[in-house]
Structure 1
Amino acid sequence: MASSTLGRKLVACLLNVSEARRKDLVETVAKAALYSTEGVRREGTTVLNIFNDHDYNRSVITIVASIDSIREAVLSACEEACGLIDMHAHTGVHPCMGAVDLIPIYPLGDEVGVKDCAQEALAVAQGLTERVQGTSAFLFGWVDSPLQRGLAQRRKEMGWFKKTPDLGAIRSDIGPRPQKRYGLTGVGASPYVMNCNVTIDTQDVTMGHSIAAAIRESTPGGLPGVQVLALPHEGTVEIACNVESVKGNPSSPLTDEPWPSFSIDGQPYSHAPASLITARVAELAGRQGVGVKGTALVGFTPHECRGLAEFALSQGIAEFWKEQYRIRM
């Protein structure tokens, strides 16, 4: 059966929603990606993972479908989320601006090109603002034409990193000025971005900020593709990393091993491995007498995401997040 998924033009959307404390609500959003309002299953679509974080009050839902099916799956989930999440009532330590905070679309193989993903991301942004009146979006990555600004730059321009963003001062790319009820949603397409969070055994957020600054891509000697925040988390500090895929195949600054790689439109990309990020954080924290408590991947590596999606789709498993721990053991 698995062979039937080979050649499928698969893409992933790691949908970020600003709710985690009501897990049943988040599951309702995930199921909206999989089933029509009449309860009919959307063929060729699976939700691989739901990551909830109570302190952040943020969840990441990993939706995988063919490039032809991803739009309706994502828009249906977004409609559900906007109906259930009111940003007037939201609290959490992680920065956010929207009920649906982020809609990134990533190709899962050479079968899907940059242009395809950009077109679908733009259609999702337009569809969201049309279906849910009052929503608005900014664009990043391949869909931000012609500048193709990255997510970190666009978030900074929009005020995402501020404790209380001034929505009234923001000009969205699509839709009206952001309203508090729904906030502002980032929509884009890019090579796959992993989320890798390393917990250090301290409550000293200032120390966390110094470690984050040292490994951030923009710092000399930092890790390529790594964007970082340091946040208080469950009585410790979490070094929360967005690990962007970068062109080429650099070697690790700590080892000579090549980074995990894949290609898009024939162009090679690679990403810093979680083991390297953990080692670097452990080294920097250790200099200050602090240990590392653990590392969590929010979802999967690009290779894992594709492999599990092919398996889930070949077996007809829609709600894979309920099965993954049994299957992966």
Structure 2
Amino acid sequence: MPSPLVECIPNFSEARRPEVVESILAAITDVQGVHVLDRHSDLDHNRTVLTFVGSPAAVEEAAYQGIARAAQLIDLNQHTGAHPRIGATDVVPFVPITDFTMQECVEMARRLGKRVGDELSIPVYLYEDAATKPEHQNLENIRHGQYEALKEEMGVNPARDPDFGPHKVGPAGATVIGARAPLIAFNVYLTTNEVSIAQKIAKAVRHSNGGLRYVKAMGVMVEGRAQVSMNLTNYHQTPVARVVEFVRREAARYGVGIHHSELVGLLPQDALTNAAIWYLQLDDFQPDQILESRLYELLRSPTQAAAAAQQPDFIDQLASSTPTPGGGAAAAHTGAAAAALVAMVGRGTLTKKKYEAVKDQMWALVEQAESLRTELAQAVDEDCAAFDAVMAAFKLPKDTPEQQTARAQAVQAATLLAAQVPLKVAGKALDVQKLALQAAADGNLNAITDAGSASALAHAALTCAAYNVRTNLLSLEDEKAVVDLKNQLRILETSSTEQEGLMHKVLVERGGISLG
């Protein structure tokens, strides 16, 4: 399987101070695993657009670092430019590329938005697929009046309240974060310096004024030439070639033509292929007729298969003769699987309008489930490391009384840790059970058995973790620690049994499932 890949295209309100742009770029590239694909700065717009890709975690962190650096270096009170803006980091979209869903990009946007609001005290709006309000899906609605209007209205007009962060605008302004499909930023320069012509053409082509679907446009002056600046939000439904010909036709009405066009950032290969097919009238063209595409597939498949063959999965490792991973790691792995199921039920609820009333609860549930899934997945390695530490302690030298004392102390310390790790797993498994119960009670009814399965897996994870706690307690000499750990374990087990009973009740009463 390919690794998840996400694209981020942040827009920063600066282009005229190269040292500022370089500093922001450095903050992004300092994050390991991020690859910058493109950089576009426009002096008239006074705006820089960066495009980078990487693993979801790396991209999310890089976006945060870029926002933080921009907030330090850009003062919107001193900023001027032709492009509308409300923030030093004006807009940050996430785009799913490989093995990653739009829903997961929405969750990235929410996490980043909350972090930026909490840690940087910057108001954050969510837009496009991440929007919490219908009126915030369209970026233009959020940017209405730009920074100057927002500074006056935020905290006074409830309609301008952000999703995260303070209800007050500082020098860094506000930031818009979201998730969307690939967008093509495309500019057409006209053979005139009359910006009014570009504005008329923009009005004719943009969808909001009755023009082409999936086209946003405005007319501006750039480098002494009138420009129709556009965002094409769905190039499959409204191809680039159709947009160019529309602009060409409208321009002819005013006695001008197209001087040249410009791409801001990157665009998908399909967009160029579709344009070539349209202009060349290749009616019977097939995508696999592109030489590079055929070569890419030929070279890619064997490599991926070989790489996958070299990566044994957890189940294979569990089945091997080595002592780790063992039962404790299996408990953590099972708990992580339970948390993943809870997250799945939450996401399956968020996409249904029928459950709009519990949307906020489901967002919180998904976020908590994902946090637990990460922690339990990490506990797999923690459990293996704890067992290895016990084995290492037993191998310490014991030739002298001093060595014997040091060895005994090391064994006891390692044994205590080996009991604490599965106890932590048991506690997190109980947390998963509680979330599973909420998912079953309030979530998508069609997924109620998935919530029930999550609860059963979490209960099993807790039981297995408890076995590993107790076996380590047999070797622990600190009686007070033994009593304390046993008491904690009993409380967890009692609560887990109670949760299991409550889940059975929900499955019967809400799900109509017979458990007899």
- Which TM-score tier does this pair reach, normalised by the shorter chain? 0.7 to 0.9
Q: Distance in 1 between matches of 2:56 and 2:102?
A: 11
Aligned: 1:20 with 2:7: no
Matched residue SS, 2:196: helix
Q: Distance in 2 between matches of 1:163 and 1:68?
A: 30
Aligned: 1:10 with 2:17: no
Q: 1:205 aligns with which of 163, 170, 195?
A: 195
Pairing 1:72-151 to 2, within 5 Å after superposition: 72-109=61-98, 111-133=99-121, 135-145=122-132, 147=134, 149-151=136-138
C-alpha spacing 1:174/1:53, structure 2 compared with 1 (3 Å): same
Which residue of structure 1 aligns with residue 417 of structure 2? none
Q: Is residue 141–residue 148 contact of structure 1 (8 Å, CA) maintained in 2?
A: no
Q: Deviations for 1:153-207, whole angstroms, at most 9, x for unmatched residues?
A: xx324524x5842423132221112424011111111111110011112222222
Which residue of structure 2 aligns with residue 282 of structure 1? 248
Which residue of structure 2 aligns with residue 168 of structure 1? 152
Which residue of structure 1 aligns with residue 514 of structure 2? none
Q: 1:230 aligns with which of 205, 208, 219?
A: 219
Q: Deviations for 1:231-259, whole angstroms, at most 9, x for unmatched residues?
A: 111111111111112xxxxxxxxxxxxx6
Which residue of structure 2 aligns with residue 32 of structure 1? 27
Which residue of structure 2 aligns with residue 253 of structure 1? none
Q: Is residue 206–residue 215 contact of structure 2 (8 Å, CA) maintained in 1?
A: yes
Moved more, 52-61 or 179-188: 179-188
Which residue of structure 1 aligns with residue 283 of structure 2? none
Which residue of structure 1 aligns with residue 141 of structure 2? 156
Q: Distance in 1 between matches of 2:71 and 2:247?
A: 36
Q: Distance in 2 between matches of 1:128 and 1:304?
A: 34
5+ long unaligned stretches in structure 2: 155-160, 272-291, 301-516
Matched residue SS, 2:86: coil
Q: Is residue 13–residue 62 contact of structure 1 (8 Å, CA) maintained in 2?
A: yes
Q: Distance in 2 between matches of 1:304 and 1:20?
A: 30
Matched residue SS, 1:121: helix
Which residue of structure 2 aligns with residue 248 of structure 1? none
Q: Is residue 243–residue 271 contact of structure 1 (8 Å, CA) maintained in 2?
A: no
Q: Deviations for 1:92-136, whole angstroms, at most 9, x for unmatched residues?
A: 121111000001111114x21121000001111111122323x11
Q: What TM-score comes out, normalization by structure 1 length?
A: 0.75
C-alpha spacing 1:177/1:129, structure 2 compared with 1 (3 Å): same
C-alpha spacing 1:201/1:163, structure 2 compared with 1 (3 Å): farther
The structure where strand makes up a greater share of residues is: 1
Matched residue SS, 1:165: helix
Q: Distance in 2 between matches of 1:18 and 1:146?
A: 25
Shift of 1:146: 6.1
Tell me: higher relative CO, structure 1 or 2? Use CA pairs within 8 A at least 6 residues apart. 1
Q: What TM-score comes out, normalization by structure 2 length?
A: 0.49
Q: Distance in 1 between matches of 2:269 and 2:57?
A: 21
RMSD: 2.4
5+ long unaligned stretches in structure 1: 1-5, 37-41, 246-258, 260-269, 315-329
Matched residue SS, 1:28: helix
Matched residue SS, 1:78: helix
Shift of 1:147: 3.6
C-alpha spacing 1:244/1:178, structure 2 compared with 1 (3 Å): farther
Which residue of structure 2 aligns with residue 296 of structure 1? 262
Which residue of structure 1 aligns with residue 501 of structure 2? none
Q: Is residue 138–residue 174 contact of structure 1 (8 Å, CA) maintained in 2?
A: yes
Shift of 1:226: 0.6
Q: Is residue 168–residue 178 contact of structure 1 (8 Å, CA) maintained in 2?
A: no
Q: Distance in 1 between matches of 2:217 and 2:168?
A: 26
Q: Distance in 2 between matches of 1:205 and 1:93?
A: 12
The structure where helix makes up a greater share of residues is: 2
Q: Distance in 2 between matches of 1:288 and 1:12?
A: 39
Q: Distance in 2 between matches of 1:304 and 1:7?
A: 21
Q: Is residue 195–residue 298 contact of structure 1 (8 Å, CA) maintained in 2?
A: yes
Q: Is residue 17–residue 102 contact of structure 1 (8 Å, CA) maintained in 2?
A: yes
Q: 1:50 aligns with which of 39, 51, 54?
A: 39
AA aligned opposite 1:91:
T
Matched residue SS, 1:68: helix
Q: Distance in 2 between matches of 1:288 and 1:49?
A: 35
Q: Percent identity?
A: 28
Q: Is residue 244–residue 271 contact of structure 1 (8 Å, CA) maintained in 2?
A: no
AA aligned opposite 2:137:
G
Q: Is residue 195–residue 221 contact of structure 2 (8 Å, CA) maintained in 1?
A: yes
Matched residue SS, 2:149: coil
Q: Is residue 201–residue 236 contact of structure 1 (8 Å, CA) maintained in 2?
A: yes
C-alpha spacing 1:178/1:101, structure 2 compared with 1 (3 Å): farther
